[in-house]
């Protein structure tokens, strides 16, 4: 496992969307903008800045348009927005999103619970969004939620996930992500599904979206990396908990993920010290401690004075 | 990564030693005994029941002899005790430990801070303990602490760790463990060191002792498994925090480790439900929440009712 610097990993920072979406408190618009602007300086490849969703369903992100309009665009960083439907897509494009991220679930029951459509119905509804984005000259990525398991149905067949993957590519997806929405995946399964997805379309940018709900998030990221994945969603501080698991951790933590890869000799192109300092400001925004470890323990290279006797 | 059931993993449960050792409150002797007796029914291969150390240095384990005398011995489970010196070894053998676990650090500064001897001086002092154990017909395992990094010195050369490993085997160690004492290791390094240790002596039982201080504990366990390791120390609830990292997680969490391996199709021989129920009792013993995730989130197979509309 001697990695070369060419095998670099790209981080998509999702704290402002998947992180804040799950918080009880509303993070002020100016604070969101300041955080995203600071994240723009850390070297992350992409920032999922917000979601254009129903303000009733997700009040935490009701300021999506103001956030997207207020942030400073750093060269080389992609500012994406999650959109659930045509209305959201239009709003995101008007607000200047660089990329739309469409999400649907591989399991019907989860998709029905979220958007009152089966998975296939969601895919059909995406066609209009693809058309709209094409007209605006903007790329559309698709995230397949519950790819590694559904909290209502249990295991989701890899064949079903891969069939959806293929159909999204046929519709014109510029990139794909496989999401372990409630942290049910395991490294062996991750390796198999990443293998299969990359075999299906080696040139498609493939992101992995892991949650650390059962403690195995970084092990899954490692397994995905070993299978060839190079793009990972992660949230500063590891926030973004699961509604089914009060007290459980959320997304894999950006600074912990970066620390693991950099320690392995795999570049992430990011400034870890800066990420850690931003992470340490999060409790002030959300009112509670975060699950991230490196922000508490420091980097492995941060040494301690030996006790004198 | 299709594992076979033959590739089973052995768990050495260290909560009663490495876990409780780091707690501010004294866990009552009867509670320790009851927990160890319950752990004996979970299918773990080994239980590090206590440490025979100076009661002044580690008051949390001042009842080592009573614990060792009070526990019920389940057939097939090895009850080991950590010992730092000849006095501790004698006490452990008299108290009926099945196995002694000698610990020293691969870095001089860490070993000096702990026992006021260089690493090599510790090894020399172990000779008398090996002789004593032989006279009692008991096996001696050796754990090399700071094998993946020292909080005072930083990186520890693999060559140095492997030299100590070889010398311990020459002295008659029945098993070896490589410990990431303060959670500084990374998966690439783990893979290399496990590879090298197994190449040095393929037949020696090799345990890995990981801390999750920087969130990478299970990724390190995965890397060690892939490199051929099959024995892991773990603590119920993931307790056993690091003195240098207030708020950081401790040992890799037994139930999270078991969950990861079992989900991968790798048997651990343990009863996960029982482990989870024991873990959920820990906060009552130590007075605070624990870092383990599966005890909060449930197993991946524990499904939720889909919302009705």
- CB contacts of B249 in chain A (<8 Å) are 293
Per-residue pLDDT of A249-308, as tens digits, reads: 899 999 999 999 999 999 999 999 999 999 999 999 999 999 999 999 999 999 999 987
- CB contacts of A298 in chain B (<8 Å) are 245
Q: What is the pLDDT of residue A2?
A: 45
* Selected residues 243-282 of chain B with any CB under 8 Å from a CB in chain A: 244-249, 253, 256, 259-260, 263-265
CB within 8 Å: B191 and A1: yes
pTM (two decimals) = 0.97
Of all residues in chain A, the one with the smallest CA distance to B244 is: A297
The mean pLDDT value for A151-169 works out to: 97
If one looks up domain A10-297 in CATH, what number appears?
3.20.20.70
pLDDT-based confidence at residue B4 (cuts at 50, 70, 90): very low
CB within 8 Å: A189 and B264: yes
Q: A-B interface: how many C-beta pairs under 8 angstroms?
A: 167
- CB contacts of A304 in chain B (<8 Å) are 151-152, 244
Of all residues in chain A, the one with the smallest CA distance to B114 is: A307
* CA A299 – CA A272 distance, rounded (Å): 9
B1 at interface of A, judged by CB pairs closer than 8 A: yes
CB within 8 Å: A188 and B3: yes
* CA B32 – CA B27 distance, rounded (Å): 7
Percentage with pLDDT > 90 across chain A:
93
Q: What is the pLDDT of residue B144?
A: 98
pLDDT-based confidence at residue A309 (cuts at 50, 70, 90): low
CA distances (Å), origin B76, targets B95, B231, B277? 19, 16, 22
The mean pLDDT value for A81-105 works out to: 97
Q: How far apart are the CA of B184 and the nearest CA of chain A, in angstroms?
A: 5
Domain boundaries defined on chain A: 10-297
Q: What is the pLDDT of residue B192?
A: 98
Q: Which long-range contacts does A113-118 make (Cβ < 8 Å, 24+ apart)?
A: A113/A152, A113/B306, A113/B307, A114/A84, A114/A145, A115/A84, A115/A85, A116/B309
- CB contacts of A288 in chain B (<8 Å) are none
| Active-site hit among A12, A242, A253, A301 | A242
* CA B112 – CA A259 distance, rounded (Å): 29
pLDDT-based confidence at residue A56 (cuts at 50, 70, 90): very high
B179 Cα distance to chain centroid: 8
Of all residues in chain B, the one with the smallest CA distance to A254 is: B215
Burial (CB count <10 Å: 0-12, 13-18, 19+), residue B118: middle
DSSP string computed for B43-78 = T-SEEEEEE---TTT-GGGTTHHHHHHHS---TT-E
Q: What is the pLDDT of residue B243?
A: 75
Residue B1, pLDDT > 60, answer: no
Among A20-29, B178-187, B217-226, B243-252, the range scoring the smallest mean pLDDT is B243-252
Per-residue pLDDT of A192-223, as tens digits, reads: 999 999 999 999 999 999 999 999 999 999 99
CB within 8 Å: B151 and A303: yes
Nearest to A246 by CA among B297, B252, B11: B297
Residue B99, pLDDT > 70, answer: yes
Of all residues in chain B, the one with the smallest CA distance to A195 is: B1
**Structure token pair of residue B77:** 């489970």
- Interface probe with B: pick from A215, A232, A302, A306, most Cβ of B within 10 Å: A215
Residue A14, pLDDT > 70, answer: yes
pLDDT-based confidence at residue A7 (cuts at 50, 70, 90): confident
* CA B51 – CA B57 distance, rounded (Å): 11
The answer to whether the beta carbons of residues B165 and B144 sit under 8 Å apart is: yes
- CB contacts of A299 in chain B (<8 Å) are 214
SS3 content of chain B, % helix, strand, coil (to 5): 40, 15, 40
CB within 8 Å: A216 and B245: no
B216 at interface of A, judged by CB pairs closer than 8 A: yes
- CB contacts of B289 in chain A (<8 Å) are 247
Q: Which of A191, A218, A305 sits opposite B218 (nearest CB)?
A: A218
Q: How far apart are the CA of A21 and the nearest CA of chain B, in angstroms?
A: 19
> What is the Cα gyration radius of chain B?
18
Residue A5, pLDDT > 50, answer: no
The mean pLDDT value for B34-50 works out to: 98
CB within 8 Å: A215 and B300: no
User: Nearest 5°: phi and psi at B111?
Assistant: -70, -40
The mean pLDDT value for A128-157 works out to: 97
- CB contacts of A184 in chain B (<8 Å) are 300
* Selected residues 138-177 of chain B with any CB under 8 Å from a CB in chain A: 149, 151-154
Q: What is the pLDDT of residue B309?
A: 60
The mean pLDDT value for B170-184 works out to: 97
Residue A4, pLDDT > 70, answer: no
pLDDT-based confidence at residue A3 (cuts at 50, 70, 90): very low
Decide: helix, strand or coil at residue B157. Answer: coil
* Selected residues 4-43 of chain B with any CB under 8 Å from a CB in chain A: none
B184 at interface of A, judged by CB pairs closer than 8 A: yes
CB within 8 Å: B1 and A221: no
B289 at interface of A, judged by CB pairs closer than 8 A: yes
- Interface probe with B: pick from A300, A301, A307, most Cβ of B within 10 Å: A300
The answer to whether the beta carbons of residues A64 and A97 sit under 8 Å apart is: no
Per-residue pLDDT of A103-139, as tens digits, reads: 999 999 999 999 999 999 999 999 999 999 999 999 9
Per-residue pLDDT of B127-159, as tens digits, reads: 999 999 999 999 999 999 999 999 999 999 999
CB within 8 Å: B213 and A309: no
Among A57-61, B63-67, B247-251, the range scoring the smallest mean pLDDT is B247-251
Active site residue B301: no
B297 at interface of A, judged by CB pairs closer than 8 A: yes
CB within 8 Å: B213 and A293: yes
Q: Name the average pLDDT for chain A.
A: 95
- Whether the complex's predicted ipTM surpasses the cut of 0.90: yes
Q: How far apart are the CA of A136 and the nearest CA of chain B, in angstroms?
A: 36
Q: Name the average pLDDT for chain B.
A: 95
| Active-site hit among B12, B150, B168, B242 | B242
- Interface probe with A: pick from B112, B215, B258, B280, most Cβ of A within 10 Å: B215
CB within 8 Å: B186 and A151: no
- CB contacts of B116 in chain A (<8 Å) are 309
Per-residue pLDDT of B208-261, as tens digits, reads: 999 999 999 999 999 999 999 999 999 999 999 877 777 778 999 999 999 999
């Amino acid at each position: 496992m001697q990695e070369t610097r060419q095998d670099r990993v790209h981080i998509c920072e999702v704290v402002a969307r998947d992180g804040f979406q799950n918080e009880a408190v509303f993070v002020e618009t100016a604070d969101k903008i300041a955080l995203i602007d600071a994240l723009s300086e850390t070297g992350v490849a992409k920032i999922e800045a917000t979601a254009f969703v129903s303000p009733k369903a997700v009040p935490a992100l009701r300021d999506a348009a103001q956030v997207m309009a207020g942030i400073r665009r750093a060269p080389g960083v992609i500012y994406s927005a999650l959109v659930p439907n045509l209305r959201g897509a239009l709003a995101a494009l008007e607000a200047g999103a660089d990329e739309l991220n469409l999400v649907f679930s591989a399991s019907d029951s989860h998709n029905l619970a979220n958007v009152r459509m089966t998975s296939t119905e969601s895919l059909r509804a995406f066609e209009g969004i693809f058309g709209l984005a094409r007209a605006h000259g903007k790329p559309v990525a698709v995230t397949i939620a519950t790819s590694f398991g559904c909290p209502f149905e249990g295991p989701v067949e890899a064949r079903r996930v891969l069939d959806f993957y293929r159909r999204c590519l046929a519709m014109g997806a510029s990139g794909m992500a496989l999401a372990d929405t409630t942290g049910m995946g395991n490294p062996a399964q991750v390796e198999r599904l990443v293998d299969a997805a990359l075999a299906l379309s080696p040139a498609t940018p493939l992101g992995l979206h892991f949650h650390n709900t059962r403690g195995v998030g970084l092990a899954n990221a490692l397994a995905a990396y070993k299978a060839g994945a190079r793009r990972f969603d992660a949230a500063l501080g590891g926030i973004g908990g699961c509604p089914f698991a009060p007290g459980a951790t959320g997304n894999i933590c950006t600074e912990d993920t970066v620390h693991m890869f950099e320690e392995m000799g795999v570049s992430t192109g990011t400034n870890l010290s800066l990420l850690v300092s931003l992470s340490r400001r999060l409790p002030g925004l959300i009112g509670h401690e975060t699950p991230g470890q490196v922000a508490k323990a420091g980097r492995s290279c941060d040494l301690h004075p030996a006790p004198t006797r």
